[in-house]
């Protein structure tokens, strides 16, 4: 039991000591929990029912973690072995839902942080989805499509025991796009001998939803626009820096263009491009072909359009009005955040998951800029996955316009929830708003279910 005479900060620190002892070395997971605990603790301390039920302790322990060996054969006939995971974090409000990540950096800490965040994010969408995440340290880069297919088939050979349309519905994430979802779905269908909506992000010909590929990036920009509108402005005419050049980054840039903003940068793990004249629809089409079909490097953009290439650098030194980190976790550190603020950046909307580290978040909060944490800003992806599940369940596909309108409505609703729980005299604290709003729904469901 917590000592209620102590300060909230001291209670959070003690809570974190216990969490770190139970999860040693899992730094990303510690970081994600600390950020949530800091903002929901005052709310929990004010509400006896959550304290008495040990809700935060229970919410920070995954329901289960599945870890398995994935053996596959490369094109030279050599046997290779990777590790696969599925973290089923919390299904209090619906089946586990969250992406699969294939990247050499994948480990249990990263997947637990992502699964934990996913639980809050999915709650914010208002759709009935619990939180989960999975993946492998397999690196799809440099592999042939046949190798990727053999890996996906082997991965699914174990995963299929643990997922299902009403149990756990994975989707894509870093390194898992339409091609990989297709192979995973094909193998599930073969093994289970059933055609169900067990994965989202599927191709249109076999149960996918229109707008799902676009949804995370579009939603991130819709959310940014809502933040600006709440202050009586909008995003048009704003100079924007975007990191990444994968799924989320591409559609963030696309929606920025639709709304009249001026995106000037994108990046990959090799470096960033800075196009002072702005990335246009035509230049974006070049990036999509480069990244999705030819699987090339972003430097080719700088060579083709004669703009600056910042080798080995992220784009945070570029002067801008707004920043959209859309590559990976912890890509904005405290110094990067300070540089952005000093250069006049007044808004950050996170397309990637937890792209800003704690010192960076503190810089944004202190500067009182509009700062949308990922669990609110990038929830459009999983929300549209939820819409894909509904279409699969009813066997009725919706039009592009219908899905886009629902996505916009969901992002507005998430913004409204953040305002409800995060607004004070000094403006909206979107971190607090998103964390408390996400927490309340899951916590109330857990209370209703008793000690399970």
Site membership for ligand NDP, residue 219 (CB under 6 A): no
Return the SS3 of 68: strand
Q: State in angstroms the smallest separation of the CB of 259 from ligand NDP.
A: 20
Rounded distance, CA 350 to CA 277, Å?
Answer: 24
Task: Write down how long the chain is.
Answer: 452
Q: Residue 332 gets which letter from DSSP?
A: B
Rounded distance, CA 40 to CA 178, Å?
Answer: 36
Q: State in angstroms the smallest separation of the CB of 38 from ligand NDP.
A: 21
One of 168, 268, 336, 404 touching ligand NDP (CB under 6 A): 268
Q: What's the first-to-final CA gap in the chain, in angstroms?
A: 19
Q: What is the DSSP string of 254-290?
A: HHHHHTT-EEEEEEETTEEEE-TT---HHHHHHHHII
Q: Residue 398 gets which letter from DSSP?
A: P
Residues 82-101 that bind ligand NDP (CB under 6 A): none
Site membership for ligand NDP, residue 351 (CB under 6 A): yes
Stretch that binds ligand NDP, among 17-25, 263-271, 401-409, 429-437 (CB under 6 A): 263-271
143 an active-site residue? no
Site membership for ligand NDP, residue 244 (CB under 6 A): yes
Stretch that binds ligand NDP, among 75-83, 266-274, 358-366, 416-424 (CB under 6 A): 266-274
Rg (CA), the chain: 21
C-beta closer to ligand NDP: residue 12 or 272: 272
Site membership for ligand NDP, residue 163 (CB under 6 A): no
Stretch that binds ligand NDP, among 75-83, 320-328, 359-367, 427-435 (CB under 6 A): 320-328
Q: State in angstroms the smallest separation of the CB of 234 from ligand NDP.
A: 24
Residue 120: name the closest of 370, 361, 417 by CA.
417
Return the SS3 of 309: strand
One of 122, 378, 391, 435 touching ligand NDP (CB under 6 A): 378
C-beta closer to ligand NDP: residue 203 or 237: 203
One of 60, 225, 328, 356 touching ligand NDP (CB under 6 A): 328
Torsion region of 280: left, alpha or beta (phi above 0 gives left; psi -120 to 50 gives alpha): beta
Query: Tokens 């405290």 label which residue?
Result: 334
Query: In the complex, which residues of this chain contact ligand NDP (CB under 6 A)?
Result: 172-175, 177, 216, 244-249, 268-270, 326-328, 351-353, 378, 381
Catalytic residues: 133
């Amino acid at each position: 039991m917590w000592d209620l005479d102590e300060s909230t900060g001291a209670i959070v620190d003690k809570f974190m000591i216990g969490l770190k002892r139970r999860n040693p070395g899992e730094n990303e997971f510690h970081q994600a929990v600390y950020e949530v605990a800091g903002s929901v603790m005052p709310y929990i301390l004010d509400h006896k029912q959550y304290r008495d039920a040990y809700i935060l302790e229970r919410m920070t322990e995954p329901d289960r973690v599945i870890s398995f060996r994935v053996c596959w054969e490369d094109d030279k006939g050599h046997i290779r072995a990777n590790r696969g995971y599925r973290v089923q974090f919390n299904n209090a409000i619906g089946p586990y839902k969250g992406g699969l990540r294939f990247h050499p950096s994948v480990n249990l800490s990263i997947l637990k942080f992502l699964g934990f965040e996913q639980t809050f994010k999915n709650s914010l969408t208002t759709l009935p989805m619990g939180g989960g995440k999975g993946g492998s340290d397999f690196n799809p880069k440099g592999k042939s499509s046949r190798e990727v297919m053999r890996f996906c088939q082997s991965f699914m050979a174990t995963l299929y025991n643990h997922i299902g349309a009403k149990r756990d519905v994975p989707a894509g994430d870093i390194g898992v796009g339409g091609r990989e979802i297709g192979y995973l779905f094909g193998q599930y269908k073969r093994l289970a001998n059933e055609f169900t909506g067990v994965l989202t992000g599927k191709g249109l010909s076999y149960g996918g939803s229109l707008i799902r590929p676009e949804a995370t990036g579009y939603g991130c920009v819709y959310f940014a626009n809502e933040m600006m509108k709440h202050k009586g402005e909008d995003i048009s005419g704003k100079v924007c820096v975007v990191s990444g050049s994968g799924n989320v980054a591409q559609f963030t840039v696309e929606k920025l263009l639709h709304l009249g903003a001026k995106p000037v940068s994108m990046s990959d793990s090799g470096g960033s491009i800075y196009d002072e004249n702005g990335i246009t629809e035509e230049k974006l089409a070049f990036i999509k072909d480069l990244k999705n079909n030819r699987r090339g490097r972003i430097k080719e953009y700088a060579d083709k359009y004669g703009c600056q290439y910042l080798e080995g650098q992220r784009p945070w030194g570029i002067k801008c009005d707004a920043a959209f980190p859309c590559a990976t976790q912890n890509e904005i550190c405290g110094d990067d955040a300070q540089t952005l603020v000093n250069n006049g950046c007044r808004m950050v909307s996170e397309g990637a998951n937890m792209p800003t580290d704690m010192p960076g978040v503190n810089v944004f909060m202190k500067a009182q800029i509009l700062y949308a944490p990922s669990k609110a800003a990038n929830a459009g992806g999983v929300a549209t996955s939820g819409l894909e599940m509904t279409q699969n369940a009813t066997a009725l596909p919706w039009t592009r316009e219908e899905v886009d309108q629902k996505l916009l409505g969901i992002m507005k609703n998430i913004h409204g929830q953040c305002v409800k729980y995060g607004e004070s005299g000094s403006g909206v604290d979107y971190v607090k708003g998103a964390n408390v709003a996400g927490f309340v729904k899951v916590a109330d469901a857990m209370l209703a279910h008793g000690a399970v």
